[in-house]
Structure 1
Amino acid sequence: MKKHQPTISAFYSRKRRIEETETEESGTVFHANVSHPNELPKCVSSGRSLQNKWLERYSWIVVNSDGSCRCSTCCWAQENGRIASVHANAVKRSPWFLEKNGWKDFRKGMNSIEKHAQAKYHNEAENAMNIGLNESANISRIDRRVEQFQKSNRVAMSAIIDALRYLGECCSAIRGHGDEKQSSNLWRLIRLLCRYNPTIKQYFDDDTATKFVSPDIQNEILSIISNNVTRVLIGNIKTQSRGEQHMSSVFSIIIDETSDLSNLEQVSVCIRYATDQLHSNEVFLGFYETSKTDASTLRKIVDDVLLRFGLNIQQLRGQGYDGGSNMSGKITGLQKRISDDNCKALYFHCTGHQLNLICQDACAANPLVGQAMGHINKIINYIKESPKRWAAFQCVVFEGSLPNTKKIRPLCPTRWVMRLASIDAVLENYENLLDFFHSASEDTSFPAATRSTALSFLDSLQLFKTYFLLRVLQRLFSTINPVHVKCQARDITIGEIQKLMNFLAQTLSCDGSSMANAKLFLEEVKTSAIALKLDLPALPRRQRSRNVEVDDYYMDIYKNVMQSATKAVTERYCSKSITIASKLHALLVEPNFSSSEVLDISNFYAPDWNPREIQRERLQWFARCESGNIVPSIEALQKEMSNNSSLRTLAPNLHTALITYVVLPTSSCEAERSFSMLRRLKTYLRSTQTQKRLNSLAIIAAHQSVAEELDINSITNEFVSHTQTRRNRFGVTV
């Protein structure tokens, strides 16, 4: 007969039966040292009772529920396979193994008990039980030591994971060069933790055990953390509030690409969705390395992203890209390829890119403006490229300016609106520039070519035309810049963008069409030029023979730039997607929106909502606004819908339309933010890191608050559960 190992629960069960007295529904167990003369059972045939002295002498006697007795030692041995097969017949005949109708011949009680106590199988059962109890005690001691060992190791492993998470959130380098224990930020952080935690110090002082801090382990841990962050983000997208009428989560996708320090093309993918408060939010989901940026390759990347995160392309409601032909192409562009599969996925050209193009169009309308900007860029580079010239200019600034004077900075090569800061700095340091170039042109310590260049720059800055054109650029960019800053918000809606663009067009049109405004601007520039002791306004040589007044010439330049900007705003911010978004906005906030137009926009988004039902819900909403003195607006509807569950239940179609409107993209600024983070992560000293490690670090750094709230215990469990060696070393806790 195959012997079975005793279970620890059986050992403790036997111990409790011997040492404790319990009263259960099934019967009563008597302790040997307790006398129960009134409760001891009697033999029906002989009338003899079970004796207390028998229980005191033989502790293995247990009373069954029917008044009979059994041997607890033999029963345990039989249950655990500890009785040899040669005793099988004796066991079958013996009543000491029965929980019912067991031994109850109390007439010859002592003789029967002693006979059973001397039986060979009973002695073997007692020996087996004693060995089992000793094994149980040993196992218990070993378990406690293993538990303590795993607990201390787990503290150190959690510290390693937390240190990696912290470094990832800070965009800090993890590994060093040379001896990692001396140079890497991870080891420096670990040594800092060891100073204040002896458990962690003991773990790392043990030179015989693996520390689990190798580069591969680091990559695995970072991947686990980033995957957990991504699960939270995708969970937020998929569990957005939808009212009682169920509808799969709608969203928009935002994509942009850039080259990193290793000259690899990185595609940034972001998702825009509606929060529980019905405000929009944009989240970065990762970089994707690609060797091509054609529309076909980008479409494969989009399909891979949606499949990987479990998002349905039929729930896509918006596409936010730049104006490149591979993105915005109407025949084979990415937006066209996606629109062919889902016509409700509207393409919106990034507002920030459009504002930059508006600035370019306005400057291209007058070549003098573009020339002035290029000339200023040369002046800035002339000063910044030489440490000696930069130090000389700083001395001029220190002697003749206020402490808070802006420092000159190069023009932004890509974002035209961002050049406002450079132009402001040049105009604020205009007098310092004049003084610097005057002194540099006469300083014999500079080479002759340098002095000649300084003299030419001085002559150009002395011209009224140069100063005037810079002031025109400053006025143009300062008018556009507030809109550019506002459109970068994650929660701004397409309706707010439309209002800003309309207001911008009106402002530029007013400046460009009003002769009074142009004249006022010219007088302000003249006053400033006189204070700087610049040359008087003069006509170019070609204009002198045309009988043109000097003031009219400069006012025409100002008006031409503003009118060109107005035209660019009107022409560029006009598309089919903007028209549909305007109708959707009117559906939500305009009481006079006609039934036919409601039907048109509802048919376009069918079957997202019912045209008749949404018309009824609109009437109820506007009646509620009228009775509650509420001005119908997107903000008011968002507030009422998010705070009032009854309104969401009674108006599910209006709720769905609001969410669709909220998720429409306004810009690709979220992707641009990820590029700024990419420059911090992939530096000259970190240019060889793998794409997987880069992506993990990028997700952790982009969503620091989400990573900070992750449960470190669950991350440790996920890491430990990958191999049996880790489970033995660290254990898995609940």
Structure 2
Amino acid sequence: MENLDYNNESGSNPKRTRIEVDVANLPTDPGLRIKICNYHPNERDQIRRHYLQNKPCQPVDHDFPQSQFGKTKRRFNLVWFKDYPSWLEHSITKDAAYCLFCYLFRPDTGDQGGGDSFVTEGFRNWKKKEKLQNHVGDHNSAHNIAQRKCEALLNQRQSIQTVINKQSDVEKREYRTRLNASMDCICFLLRQGLAFRGHDESKDSNNQGNFLELLRFLANHNEEIDKAVLENAPENHQMTSPDIQKEIANAAAVETINAIIKDIGDSLFAIIVDESRDMSTKEQMAIALRYVDKLGHVNERFLGITHVNNTSAVTLKSAIEEVFNKHSLSISRLRGQGYDGASNMRDNPSAYYVYCFAHQLQLTLVAVAKNHIQIATFFNLVAKVFNIVGASCKRHDILREKRNAEVIEALKNNEISTGRGLNQEMSLKRPGNTRWSSHYGALVNIIHMFSSVIDVIETIIEDGLDSDQRAEANILIGLLQTFEFVFDLHLMKGVLGKSNELSQALQRKDQDIVNAMKLVDISKQRLQEVSAFCAKNNIDVPDMDDFYQPRPRRKAQNMKNSHHYQVELFYTFSALKGIGQLAEKMVEMKKNVSYPLVYSLVTLALILPVATATVERAFSAMNIIKNRLRNRIGDQWMNDCLVTYIEKDIFKTIECEEIMQRFQNMKNRRGQLSKIS
């Protein structure tokens, strides 16, 4: 936003274009904010409400730096947040303290209460805590006057507009019913990822959109709602406008994110980041957090999506820092970063970088396999099958008909069994080098549909459009009907099938890096088909400092007897499967309190990201929310829809009243909510 001083006293009144403020993207860090007087007067109250609703910026898990004061080093004391919870803020960028109340409403009273120290310049004199209490002052201090103005702003019942348009209890109840109905419809659509708007939302339109149609359906089945919504509501207060829809969705998304941030608490976490273009070719960066909650469960939660102008390291880092500041997350709690090949982000020496194992596995398998000339030739033939058989809708229909006829014939001959989920309609799956398990899926479908594919190619040989097309099909069918091709087909299907289980396991949200490495070892053993045998040894009492020798002897590991008997056997006796269950068991038995360092090590291993599956799924959801018909949806609107759609399990736990109160406090509303009966 342009920095405009609307309170200048120079006498000049330049005509300037008013720039609408994007409230959702206002800077959270108090050191980065502009003066409240620099905003347009008509927007100041909305901005004030935004900051008051989001509470003071208090990065409680930040590692505050030390500053030199004479011979002593001092820093901001975390306890001060507890002493002054309602107004004290801290800027990570400037390492300074600020007052939220004074920033929003401080009158011009000179140096009273510290002047601009807690508003624009920031307070840094950490050795004098008494300055904080001096800033608060007495009852009539500038700080307390500002605080009372903040409280009055949030109390809409005392606003001038409310006094002028004083409502009866009946009107308040109708307003609550109307708002609640709109909110229920919007929340339902958000969870389903459905579109809201129609092409024409006028009263007589047959294409009003999902929201209005759902609201009308709800009214038709509830007499109380029917009396308060749509045609029975005041014409200029129906709570159905596009702005109302977006504000309710934003309130729902904010409450969902707040629930996630609360669940994280002061835990360590890792971030998973990826970038992709949306339907309107805008570069979008998705961020997810991986952490261990208070019960010891591993979680990956989608935090949001943000538009970036480019994918350079500086731009991405700046966008990540802005997201962290927005949600009061401290980078000092960051212990892992997962990127899908974004090597330009390797600029934080204190963090571990784990690339997406599933992507690496897919790329490695394809690259290694194609190094063999016979296998490379085989995959080229597979590509030609897809290009020729899948070249037109007509050929797709022929393939489908041939496959259906084949299934019916097999059922008649009792060659295949019937049952729920069996014999589903199939099609050829085109493989992609960066799509997980796509090569395996492609080969499986070719095997199941082999005879149907041959039939389609024979049809092309007979009815092709020209001689070149018929000749190409004739060459291809000759290559497919050879022992070499069929052998390579089944060989690669078996090899990729063994690794496919690993790929699927790596994409689980609760997968941990220790278990992932074990799965890699198991897959290697299955692929290599190696077995080790050994003669039995006499049972001796082992020295705990000696290296453990397993019986029967297999490949030696750098593991001492003490580790085997105290750690590995602990897993067995406790019926634990990996460190994920170990963390849960420690919390259940309160061992995380008795052995905090051990629990910290376990959680550190658990939060290291294994795959970028969560953000990949976010991009799949983005293509649902922002599709070809909705390619003009704004970034904030899309982000709110994505958060509530992807994290619907968290969204479902949010009380409707919480969303309603946040919506109500976004700005001065014409309607006032009645008390909950």
Alignment TM-score > 0.5, same fold = yes
Alignment CA distance shift 1:717-1:386 (3 Å): same
Cα displacement (A) at 1:235: 0.5
Inter-partner Cα distance in structure 1 for 2:389 and 2:577: 55
**Corresponding letter in the other structure for 2:260:** L
Unaligned runs of 5+ in 1: 1-141, 239-247, 513-585, 595-618
Inter-partner Cα distance in structure 1 for 2:322 and 2:599: 30
Determine if the alignment matches structure 1 residue 470 to structure 2 residue 415: no
Residue 457 (structure 1) aligns with:
476
Aligned to 2:499, what secondary structure does the other structure show?
Answer: helix
Contact 1:625 1:632 in 2 (8 A): no
Residue 146 (structure 2) aligns with:
none
Determine if the alignment matches structure 1 residue 200 to structure 2 residue 170: no
Match of 1:337 among 347, 351, 354: 347
Contact 2:283 2:307 in 1 (8 A): yes
Match of 2:588 among 634, 637, 643: 643
Aligned to 2:295, what secondary structure does the other structure show?
Answer: coil
Contact 2:428 2:442 in 1 (8 A): yes
**Corresponding letter in the other structure for 2:583:** Q
Alignment of 1:9-408 (within 5 A): 146-179=168-201, 181=203, 182=205, 183=207, 184-203=209-228, 204-206=230-232, 208-238=235-265, 248-323=266-341, 327-328=342-343, 333-334=344-345, 336-339=346-349, 343=350, 345-401=351-407, 402=410, 404=423, 406-408=426-428
Cα displacement (A) at 1:724: 3.8
Alignment CA distance shift 1:636-1:433 (3 Å): closer
Inter-partner Cα distance in structure 2 for 1:346 and 1:651: 24
Give identity over the alignment, percent. 23
Cα displacement (A) at 1:591: 6.3
Alignment CA distance shift 1:624-1:704 (3 Å): same
Q: CA deviation digits over 1:403-437, x for unaligned, max 9?
A: 72743222235225222111111122222222332
Cα displacement (A) at 1:165: 0.9
Cα displacement (A) at 1:685: 0.5
Inter-partner Cα distance in structure 2 for 1:461 and 1:259: 38
Cα displacement (A) at 1:349: 1.4
Q: CA deviation digits over 1:432-459, x for unaligned, max 9?
A: 2223322331237x44443233222212
Residue 661 (structure 1) aligns with:
605
Aligned to 1:346, what secondary structure does the other structure show?
Answer: coil
Contact 1:717 1:732 in 2 (8 A): no
Aligned to 1:349, what secondary structure does the other structure show?
Answer: coil
Alignment CA distance shift 1:145-1:297 (3 Å): closer
Match of 2:637 among 683, 693, 715: 693
Match of 2:621 among 665, 670, 677: 677
**Corresponding letter in the other structure for 1:411:** P
Inter-partner Cα distance in structure 1 for 2:513 and 2:376: 32
Residue 522 (structure 2) aligns with:
503
Determine if the alignment matches structure 1 residue 716 to structure 2 residue 666: no
Inter-partner Cα distance in structure 2 for 1:626 and 1:348: 26
Inter-partner Cα distance in structure 2 for 1:163 and 1:154: 14
**Corresponding letter in the other structure for 1:258:** S
Residue 426 (structure 1) aligns with:
446
Residue 463 (structure 2) aligns with:
443
Q: CA deviation digits over 1:372-400, x for unaligned, max 9?
A: 22322222232223122222333332333
- Decide which moves more: 206-215 or 168-177: 206-215
- Decide which moves more: 622-631 or 633-642: 622-631
Inter-partner Cα distance in structure 2 for 1:454 and 1:627: 58
**Corresponding letter in the other structure for 2:634:** T
Residue 479 (structure 1) aligns with:
498
**Corresponding letter in the other structure for 1:702:** I
Residue 62 (structure 2) aligns with:
none
Larger Rg: 1
Alignment CA distance shift 1:590-1:699 (3 Å): farther
Inter-partner Cα distance in structure 2 for 1:667 and 1:145: 55
Q: CA deviation digits over 1:544-585, x for unaligned, max 9?
A: xxxxxxxxxxxxxxxxxxxxxxxxxxxxxxxxxxxxxxxxxx
Aligned to 2:272, what secondary structure does the other structure show?
Answer: strand
Q: CA deviation digits over 1:348-387, x for unaligned, max 9?
A: 1111111112212222321332232232222223222312
Alignment CA distance shift 1:304-1:355 (3 Å): same
**Corresponding letter in the other structure for 1:419:** H
**Corresponding letter in the other structure for 2:445:** A
Inter-partner Cα distance in structure 1 for 2:366 and 2:396: 30
RMSD: 3.1
Contact 1:180 1:187 in 2 (8 A): no
Residue 493 (structure 1) aligns with:
512
- Decide which moves more: 348-357 or 364-373: 364-373
What TM-score results when the alignment is normalised by the length of structure 1?
0.60
Cα displacement (A) at 1:297: 1.2
Alignment CA distance shift 1:365-1:510 (3 Å): farther
Aligned to 2:287, what secondary structure does the other structure show?
Answer: strand
Aligned to 1:301, what secondary structure does the other structure show?
Answer: helix
Residue 52 (structure 2) aligns with:
none
Inter-partner Cα distance in structure 1 for 2:497 and 2:636: 42
Cα displacement (A) at 1:733: 5.6
Aligned to 1:385, what secondary structure does the other structure show?
Answer: coil
**Corresponding letter in the other structure for 2:218:** L
**Corresponding letter in the other structure for 2:528:** S
Alignment CA distance shift 1:590-1:279 (3 Å): farther
Inter-partner Cα distance in structure 2 for 1:677 and 1:659: 29
Inter-partner Cα distance in structure 1 for 2:597 and 2:605: 12
Q: CA deviation digits over 1:666-712, x for unaligned, max 9?
A: 11111111111111111110110000000000000011122222221
What TM-score results when the alignment is normalised by the length of structure 2?
0.65
Inter-partner Cα distance in structure 2 for 1:448 and 1:626: 68
Aligned to 1:347, what secondary structure does the other structure show?
Answer: coil
- Decide which moves more: 627-636 or 454-463: 627-636
Aligned to 2:562, what secondary structure does the other structure show?
Answer: coil
Contact 2:271 2:337 in 1 (8 A): yes
Alignment CA distance shift 1:220-1:143 (3 Å): closer
Alignment CA distance shift 1:311-1:368 (3 Å): same
Contact 1:250 1:315 in 2 (8 A): yes
Cα displacement (A) at 1:347: 0.8
- Decide which moves more: 423-432 or 698-707: 423-432
**Corresponding letter in the other structure for 1:458:** I
Q: CA deviation digits over 1:599-630, x for unaligned, max 9?
A: xxxxxxxxxxxxxxxxxxxx9x7699499777
Q: Which structure is higher in helix share?
A: 1
**Corresponding letter in the other structure for 1:644:** M
Contact 1:320 1:668 in 2 (8 A): yes
Cα displacement (A) at 1:469: 2.3
Contact 1:392 1:436 in 2 (8 A): yes
Residue 34 (structure 1) aligns with:
none
Inter-partner Cα distance in structure 2 for 1:347 and 1:416: 21
**Corresponding letter in the other structure for 2:238:** K
Aligned to 2:168, what secondary structure does the other structure show?
Answer: helix
